[in-house]
Structure 1
């Protein structure tokens, strides 16, 4: 499970900050892997990893969670129109993975997420995954940051999801404290990775590409 979470993080980083060629290569690799993954749920229901409906659920869960985290923790949250643009752009990734009928706006995304509620369940696998996340292996010095991230992640879940997981939402004071702490740490991390992180490399790549376009004949 830990390795799988790592691969998911790499996929997100590549499709978010990588160039078009790298993103398409990563999507193609994931699609090939999905083609060979199949099994049976505890209730006997067969499944395949490249099922368009399953991919749509994963896509919805990811993009709504990413945006919620950004809006909650960023010092410059996105305007409504920029949020819609985010969903429209991310739909291109989900479609290349095989999903259909993906949302183009925030309203559509939240509505489609609600439509999946009747298909969701909490079982032993869910509890095992949560336990892994809450006790994610990391260096002792990283533990405070990881703990804050996990606490914030649970508080960003919609009320119905917390209810399914039998968890209560933290009080407003605790939520504010966690948010402030993460914003402070985030600013420090942004400074530390200003020249070497994936976002920095993406900016450098875009600068190079724009200069190349600007210097080409006819521009």
Structure 2
């Protein structure tokens, strides 16, 4: 009963359906990364991935050209859950899916990006397949996922593991059209900072960030959703708070949210233990593992 309530709350936030049986085939296929990768470890934790997803969307909304593509060509404002659901499936497919599933997901996104063009709010032209924009989106996502994993999964990664994650994800980013991606944690942080002069907190960004701050949800899912959203904003880099005109969170505030998330995460992880990662392990090793 509790497990089903939790799963319903999660569907409230990102959509999604039943058991991920598509990840069971074909037997033995290791996908793009394989079970020993750091990507498999980091992306397996639904809680920290949702938190990282929120913070990456906040950062991406600050780049006028990246935001323009979403503003002009997607249903983000009308269907936030649908957008998050599609992003969640892409991450699952490329991390845990078979080679065929991952290739299809990547090719589909690349085809969509080729058609997304226009002018941003400053009347500057943009293309969704611009390598510089693709790098911004890729780096803010990977940085956000990595930064949410340790405090909310309560597991420390050594520097070598962190760098391995960015090296693994660099391959995925390049297949999506990004170039000159860093392959270390420190390099990614440094590269992201180079974009700060391009960022803008205008009416469009305020609209999107306001939606993420007040994430739509039913009454029963609201406590869960609000906590995840709050943690997403706490997961931003310190330089972002002056841009979005918010005070930098205190250490006490961060610790309070982390404690609440850790308690909430126990039944959530139990309810989701037979998810995509577990199904994918069965595909690689057989049903006995």
TM-score, scaled relative to structure 2:
0.69
The secondary structure found in structure 2 opposite 1:130 is helix
Partner of 1:203: 281
The secondary structure found in structure 1 opposite 2:249 is coil
User: CA offset at residue 209 of structure 1?
Assistant: 9.6
1:69 aligns with 2:69: no
1:178 aligns with 2:257: yes
Partner of 1:39: 118
Partner of 2:4: none
Give the counterpart of 2:229 among 143, 150, 162. 150
Cα separation, partners in 2 of 1:114 and 1:15, compared to 1, 3 Å:
same
Gap runs ≥5 in structure 1: 212-219
Partner of 1:216: none
In 2, Cα distance between the equivalents of 1:81 and 1:42? 41
User: CA offset at residue 13 of structure 1?
Assistant: 2.2
Partner of 2:27: none
**Rg: which structure is higher?**
1
Give the counterpart of 1:115 among 189, 194, 217. 194
What per-residue deviation string (whole Å, max 9, x for no partner) do you get for residues 21-78 of structure 1? 2111101000001111111011110001111110000001000000000022112221
Matches within 5 A, 1:47-62: 47-62=126-141
Compare the two structures and name the one with the higher helix fraction.
Answer: 1
8 Å Cα contact 1:55-1:99 kept in structure 2: yes
Aligned residues: 210
Give the counterpart of 1:84 among 163, 168, 192. 163
In 2, Cα distance between the equivalents of 1:178 and 1:74? 13
The secondary structure found in structure 1 opposite 2:108 is helix
In 2, Cα distance between the equivalents of 1:30 and 1:11? 9
8 Å Cα contact 1:193-1:200 kept in structure 2: no
1:135 aligns with 2:214: yes
Deviates more, 1:47-56 or 1:154-163: 154-163
> Which 4+ runs in 1 deviate beyond 4 A?
none
Partner of 2:96: 17
* Bigger relative contact order (CA 8 A; separation at least 6): 2
The secondary structure found in structure 1 opposite 2:284 is helix
In 2, Cα distance between the equivalents of 1:96 and 1:210? 33
* Pairwise CA RMSD: 1.7
